[in-house]
Structure 1
Amino acid sequence: MDSEHPTFNQCLVLATALKLLLIPAYRSTDFEVHRNWLAITHSLHPSKWYLEDTSEWTLDYPPFFAVFEWVLSQFAQFFDTGMLQVKNLNYGSMETIYFQRLSVIVSELVLILSLRRFINIQASPQSKKVANIISLSLLLSPAFLIIDHIHFQYNGMMFGILIFSLTDALTDNLLRSGILFAILLCFKHIYLYIAPAYFAYLLRKYCLGENLFDIQIVNCIKLGSAIVSIFGVAFGYFAAIGQIPQLLSRLFPFSRGLCHAYWAPNAWALYAFLDRVLIHIAPRLNLSVDSASLGSATRGLVGDTSFAVLPNIPPRVTFLLTLAVQIVCLVKIFLQPNPSKFIGSVTLCGFASFMFGWHVHEKAILLPLVPFSLLALQDRRYLGAFRPLAVAGHISLFPLVFKAAEFPIKTAYTILWIMVFFMAFDTVVPVAKSQRVFLLDRFEIVYMTVGVPLILYTEIFHFAIFGSRLEFLPLMFTSAYCALGILGSFLGFFVLYLTG
């Protein structure tokens, strides 16, 4: 960036200082989840990792992440051995809090290095400036701050691996890109949602070459053997002791309902919102109401998702809708295999899984948000599609941090991020005359205007007016509002991707 703008290192220092100040902040049950995983991997033989169930927060990530927890536990024992006892449920000494918070900050070095590489691979000064702004927006993202450093997870490290893989794709280092993605899948299986984009692109660009019938045998052998080796290292031991069925049952608990307890802002949130509205107007429209579903509709509990007026959605419908969107973009990337289209296909695969998937968590918004960030400044129309996603995606995370003490932090930080980076985006993506009336620009203005009173109502006024009554109402309004923004972003980018 220009000399008057803060440098990457300056922003890194400020971001780290803020994260250190947030060490005593609210922490979710995910804090105990990861503490328990530290204890399991440190205290038990690997043959018992996926069998241990003293805590309800059983180990349900792939083996590489389990090994990552084991590595962390080797350092954790110098802070407080109490956190490494499986029986110490909900253990939270200050030493434990400091260690786990610091482990997130240190592991985020992977994200930092990946963003630096994204900047370094750019060829021209202008492209480096654009990449620097994108990288700073991700480094300072409210999403990572809320999810990782307050709520508690390790998404920064995971998405750092993904960005390394995507930058390899941008520089045509396709073998290493595929290897890194395979490693990522063995850390966290949620990335399976974007695996179809990798499969289509690597097959077309690396294994088939220019001529579809000119199969690159050597490339196929190298890529195939590398991926098989990685999965063999990750899962081979558990296959040898006959625990693959048990491991898979932990990774894929399909008994959960369509919607999470707080509706992730996707198509099903709008569907559920419509169902709640129809309950109240059904008598006027002569619609039948399933009275048995009134108390349990869409609460997102295990095996407990039902609608009172609208038809219930079976898992196969969510799968088919997700697959339909992904197939469209996979055909595009297969016919036009270039790096920019590849990142677009990764974004759309993430979008499709978030919008139409089964029991989606709001934290999964990172799947489309992060790769779309790398593309957002290529074109004014892309930026117009990205902005509603950035606003809605970050606001949708607010319910993760519901304590009053963190309200000013999450709100002020997110609003500041939006103001600073939206202005920075405009400096490098000028508005062309032919694009001044682009539909998403108008949608964005209206959408952001509504967002401010919504935040004030859901975070302050609702509880001042109703107290503890109707406590699900703010969550429902937040979910429906954010779902509209994400849906608009998805539809806009989907059209741009197909017509571009």
Structure 2
Amino acid sequence: MILKKDCFWQLVGISTGLKILLIPANHSTDFEVHRNWLAITHSLPLNRWYFEDTSEWTLDYPPFFAYFEWLLSQVARFVDPRMLIVENLNYESKATLYFQRLSVTAMDLIYVLGVRSCLSALGVVKGSQQFFAGSLLLLLNVGLIFVDHIHFQYNGFMFGILLLSISALIRQRFLWSAFTFAVLLNFKHIFLYLAPPFGVYLLRFYCLEQANVKGGSFWRSLFKLLAVGLAPFVVSFGPFWNQLPQIMSRLFPFNRGLTHAYWAPNIWALYNTADKVAANVLKTASAGPSTTSGLVQQIDHSVLPTITPSMTFGLTIVFMLPILLKLFKSSKKQSPLMFLRAVVLCACSSFMFGWHVHEKAILMCLIPLSLLTLVNREDARYAYILGIAGYFSLFPLLFDIDLYVPRYSFYLSYMGFIAIPLYEHIISRLLGLHIRLPFMPLLLTSTYSALGVVYFFGRYYLYAMGVSWPKVAAPKATATYSSSAKRKRKTK
């Protein structure tokens, strides 16, 4: 089936219109976080940006994002200069609301370019059903709508940079890929978890390949790679060279505890649940804050051993290694698919075992996985499994009663799971459980979603590694990266 070739831009228009309609939606405290960062970068000299603490929402992103906030503030001063006063905590005029909301939508243009670039790099034929499905999945991604355009953040344009970097790598524009990924790290350091697949791929298919080419040199290639990769860090951190310890303490605050206020659906959500159940069975009370307190803080488990940051780091690295080794040994023909699978699994490893993981970090797995749905049906099946649990896990971010209709309508248009919402909004209130067990819906959401994510992680890892047990259906005849690219060339 061939669709109109301009369907991509039609979907861009639809998604933009939808985002504009969501401007009045209730938002999270992240709205105030970014207003405060606008004020800090506009009103204070650069050497005070990472020391300012009038608000509890201190600047804790890398310098490129701080520069980005400064640029936005140059426009914001013409909209409502009062939003740029550091002492104006929780300031929210209508002009401020529209400015910040529209700035997120405007920056999504980079995401649009990243999506289009990846579809092209993967050889997806314009006007095909595959092209329409990919555009629909990515441009109207329900997770990004939840997190950026209701909850409020600027993830879209950063995922756009990630997609541009991925597409450059698939096209074998290695130095450009390394440069754009380094730029991304200087916007948001959480993408550091995706660095290992990029590093392994560039080492194997750029540096080592060059060593086998007549006149090529491994060391020359490595030097060029390091030069373009480190240049953004020099530009980003250079003005702050004498403040690096302070910046690092902001970027990596290990005192925030194992889990976020509402548990991300990972192994630690199940661990917390098991500890809670064991404590109730054994009638053991925790001496410190409870895992169900809903606060961001250090906690000690009541029965199970307390987890430390070094444990989470070690587990993350251990679970990344097998897929990275598989990527290093993959053939050049299959390397783009293996690279994308390695990106997904490294992101999922950090999500599963990381320290103080946020629910929204699941998008680091889901968005690259959306690319794989376009080139292999088996990957698409796994993407659906993760999507059910992953997108549902974002519901605690949209807790206001006014957001119930958009969150359920968006989610049900994607997936269709309603058991826990029925308990939260009907059963618990009929039985009075919303008073006796107020944290139960969040616990159920985390536990249910964690079971889905853990199941996906185990099965998909085995599939990506080529392990046949437990049995996974063999991929059916689909458009692989190479065949899709060939078909695209034939149509020209």
TM-score (norm 1): 0.88
Cα separation, partners in 2 of 1:464 and 1:32, compared to 1, 3 Å: farther
Q: Deviations over 1:106-152 (max 9, x none)?
A: 00111111111222334463896424412321111111111000110
Matches within 5 A, 1:381-460: 381-418=378-415, 451-460=417-426
Cα separation, partners in 2 of 1:120 and 1:54, compared to 1, 3 Å: same
What is the aligned partner in structure 1 of residue 362 from structure 2?
365
Q: 1:405 Cα shift?
A: 1.3
1:83 aligns with 2:77: no
Residue 495 (structure 1) aligned to one of 451, 456, 462:
462
Aligned-partner Cα distance in 1 for 2:279–2:127: 53
- Counterpart code for 1:455: P
What is the aligned partner in structure 2 of residue 323 from structure 1?
317
Matched residue SS, 1:307:
coil
What is the aligned partner in structure 2 of residue 439 from structure 1?
none
Aligned-partner Cα distance in 2 for 1:141–1:464: 34
What is the aligned partner in structure 1 of residue 51 from structure 2?
51
Contact 1:79 1:95 in 2 (8 A): yes
Cα separation, partners in 2 of 1:460 and 1:24, compared to 1, 3 Å: farther
Alignment identity in percent?
47
Q: 1:63 Cα shift?
A: 0.4
1:307 aligns with 2:307: no
Aligned-partner Cα distance in 2 for 1:127–1:378: 16
Matches within 5 A, 1:81-480: 81-123=81-123, 125=125, 129-209=129-209, 215-239=217-241, 242-282=242-282, 289-292=284-287, 296-297=290-291, 299=293, 301-336=295-330, 338-418=335-415, 451-463=417-429, 465-466=431-432, 467-480=434-447
Q: 1:210 Cα shift?
A: 7.2
- Counterpart code for 1:188: K
Matched residue SS, 1:255:
helix
Aligned-partner Cα distance in 2 for 1:65–1:291: 39
Contact 1:162 1:180 in 2 (8 A): yes
Matched residue SS, 1:261:
coil
Contact 2:2 2:128 in 1 (8 A): no
Q: Deviations over 1:196-249 (max 9, x none)?
A: 11111111111111768985233222211112221110001110xx10111111
Matched residue SS, 2:325:
helix
RMSD value over aligned CA atoms?
2.2
Aligned-partner Cα distance in 2 for 1:464–1:47: 56
- Counterpart code for 2:253: P
Aligned-partner Cα distance in 2 for 1:15–1:7: 12
What is the aligned partner in structure 1 of residue 23 from structure 2?
23
Contact 1:458 1:478 in 2 (8 A): no
Contact 2:348 2:365 in 1 (8 A): yes
Q: Deviations over 1:322-341 (max 9, x none)?
A: 01011111111111161211
Aligned-partner Cα distance in 1 for 2:19–2:178: 32
Higher mean C-alpha deviation, range 460-469 or range 18-27:
460-469
Q: 1:258 Cα shift?
A: 0.8
Aligned-partner Cα distance in 2 for 1:244–1:91: 30
Higher mean C-alpha deviation, range 334-343 or range 457-466:
457-466
Aligned-partner Cα distance in 2 for 1:5–1:174: 29
Cα separation, partners in 2 of 1:329 and 1:298, compared to 1, 3 Å: farther
Matched residue SS, 1:23:
coil
Q: 1:290 Cα shift?
A: 4.9
Matched residue SS, 2:254:
coil
Aligned-partner Cα distance in 1 for 2:55–2:424: 33
- Counterpart code for 1:225: A
Instruction: Give aligned pairs, total.
Output: 461
Q: 1:271 Cα shift?
A: 1.0
Contact 1:41 1:69 in 2 (8 A): yes
Cα separation, partners in 2 of 1:248 and 1:221, compared to 1, 3 Å: same
